[in-house]
Structure formats: structure tokens, C-alpha cells
Amino acid sequence: MTDTDPATPNLSSPAHGLTYDVVVVGGGAAGLSTAASILKRRGGITVAIIEPSGSHFYQPGWTLVGGGVFKQSQTRRSEKRLIPAGADWVQAAATGFEPESNLVHLSNGSSIRYDVLVVATGLTLDWDAIEGLSETLGRNGVTSNYRYDLAPYTWQLVQTLGRGNAVFTQPPMPIKCAGAPQKAMYLACDAWRRRGLADNINVSFHTATPGLFGVKEFVPALMEYIQRYHIDLCLKSNLTKVDGRNRVATFTNVAEDGAKTTTETEFDMLHVVPPQRAPDVIRNSPLAGEGGWVSVDPATLRHTKYENVFALGDVAGTSNAKTAAAVRVQAPVVAVNVLATLDHKPAVADYDGYGACPLTVERGKIVLAEFGYGGKLEPTLPTWLLNGQKPTHLAWLLKEWVMPVLYWDGMLKGREIMVAPHKIGTPR
């Protein structure tokens, strides 16, 4: 999902009935990577990318902005410069889908017809789902690394807080990068430890989930840091209300027997991760399946009803982790399956649910969680070089230096390093 930048003019205003071989809805990581991958494989076909924002954001970098490692400007670039050669950029938002007629309706009043559709809209951050939150974001000690404009405020609060209560939250699943709520907390705790303030600041982590992390193999390493930083871990505790003026957060807690109670917690710093859902334009369309997400086959990423529709990234109704690492693997799979569909052939590649979450447990060390469907461990590098179940400096170097380059100059340009699409029916 990208933020709208209305100051940038439309680059394309297609007339009603204009037809493309491939229409990609969404110009974020998933949309751009897939379009670039398609055009790398086959030039000469017509591709349109529907995206309203004039800016593109490297969202995985916002954790490091909030941790004082990256500058805010490092995570933003012009959308225009990232559109792959051979694709048309339609600077508008999708407002409706007619898959039976191969049509996408747009906010500029036009419609586009397609032979194959790729849906990559991202998801919606539902800030208003928490009472009082929207009114106090960015002030009264309330922040979030899930917004470009707020990540610097996170670091400002970390730097200025000398004592008091620091509260970090995580909403119910699914959310993008389920480790990000913890990452913000660990980097803050490490900064306070380095300044000798650890004993002055009471840190609590309220997560609506029943466990600290969804894949058990990575929990022991994370629990060591929970204990090291003396974090009060509150499971099944969901933020429902924020009183910014009085600095009070309200949580609904679920006991082991299912009984619900409400508690209030005073805070000096509150890092909030909002509930997340499929965009309304998807939820209210024929493409929606369970939970409002695009209904796709988890392997081929083809729609379960419409054979010329694919979806990937955060909006896809799959059980993998919603991360940029997942998109990096999904995009080539969708690209080759789109081309097969254009050729009236069956899908040729499948996706195994790979995703990765670099958990920044301290400045200079990361627990690199890599896993596929069902929580199956899928390390990219051999364990003798990088053991993802332990905090390592090598994983930090990958996060700080390698992954941004891989993102901007690799996946967004269709350069598929170590992510060749897996052919259906061949051994992995």
C-alpha cells in the first residue's frame, strides 16, 4: 500500500475501453516487481500499472528510521522513476472490478480492459478501529513505525524519554510483517540500555496474539531478549482505546478460560500497530474471498474462480507472512503464470509460502526468521554461515546494507537473484 500524493499529475488518462495485455493494480513492491518481471521475460506486450501515489516507500526501512539507523529520506523515491520501461503508469485508484467483463474502473472516471489482471493493492491500515488513536497520532507520546511520517517521531521519543512507561502493541493477525511491532520495542530497549536508562523505563508488550511469534523455533531467542530487557509480555491483550491527553491506553484481555477483562495502562510513550484489513475496493468486489482478501490458489496465486486474475503481496488471501521477502519470491511465480495464461496454457510455477522477518533484537544483531507455509523453516543460507534461530551480526548487515539494494535495484527492476520461479512438478 502506498500513500496518495495528489500533487503529482496523472501521467496517463486512458479512455474508456482501452485494453492492455496485462493490468497491474498497485504500484507498490508487489505490483512493480511483477510488472518488471513480466517485461523482462517478454517485451512487446502492453502493461498498465494503476497506482495513485507519486511516491514509493521502502516500508521495511521504517523500523530502522524509528530506531535511528536510517534517515526518513532513504525510504522514499519517486514512483515515476520506478515504473519499468515498457509499462504505462495510470495515476489513479481502482474503484471497482468487473472480472466477468475483464474491466477495472478508475477514480479518474475511466475504465481499463485487460486480458490478464494482477491485483497488488496492498492492505489498509485501520487507524480508526482504535478509539481515539487517529486524533493523537504524532503527539502526546503516541507513534507508529507503520507510517512514513511517524517513524522519525518514534526515534525522537526514544531519544527524549528518560523514565516512565513505554508501551508497545500488536493487533490481531493478519498484519504486514508480524515481527515489526517487536522490532520497534527491541531497538528502543537497546537504545535505553546503551544510555544507562534501562532501570528507569518500564516496558510492556501487549499483543493480541496467543504467542510471541507464530513459528516456535524462533521464540526462544526472542524470549531471551524479552527477559534481558525486562519486558512485561502481555499475551491476548488488544489495544481498543487511546486517551492521548491523559496518556492512558485501554486494552481488552482474554484469559485462558475465554473471559474478557478491560485494563487501563498509563504511558509516556505508546508505539501502536493498527488493525489491518483488505481494502474496501477488494472486500466489496467479486474477487474477495474469506476475510475480504483476494481468493487465490496458495501455490499458483491464480484466482480460485477467474483464471485470468492473479494476486500477490499483502492483499492475497494466502497464509504466508505478509512481507517484502514474500513478494520477492511471489513476483516471478506470478510473472511466468501470467505469461502462460496469455498463451492459453496452464500455470507453470508454484509458490511455497516463503517469507522472511528480520527481527532487530538489538542494534547490530538480528534473528532472521525465514519460513514457508505451515511454519516450515526455509533458510536461504546454510546454517553454518547464518543460523536464523540465533541473533547474528551478519543478518544485521544484510538488513542494513544488502536488502535495500536488493529491493531498489533488484526486485523492483525484475532482477531475480536467488528467486527463480519453481516449476510445478519438479523437486525443490
Active site residue ranges: 177, 357
- Measured between alpha carbons, how far apart are the two ends of the chain, in Å? 31
**Three cell numbers at 417?**
537473484
For residue 94, list its beta bridge partners: 106
Residue whose grid cell is 500499472: 49
Identify the bridge partners of residue 253 per DSSP, sorted by sequence position.
237, 261
**Could you identify the residue written with the cell 526472542?**
222
CA distance 119 to 40: 19
374: left (phi over 0), alpha (psi -120 to 50) or beta: left
Classify 180 as helix, strand or coil: helix
Number of residues in the chain: 428
Residue 81 to residue 281: CA distance in whole angstroms: 27
Alpha-carbon Rg for the chain, nearest whole angstrom, is: 22
CA dihedral for 156, 162, 165, 170, sign (positive or negative):
positive
Dist. CA 147–CA 151, nearest whole Å: 6
H/E element, 155: helix 151-160
Q: Are 178 and 207 in contact (CB under 8 A)?
A: no
User: Strand runs (DSSP E) across 53-93, as ranges?
Assistant: 55-57, 76-78, 87-90
- Residues 398, 15: Cα–Cα separation, whole Å: 45
CA distances from 194 to 191, 202, 410 (A): 5, 16, 35
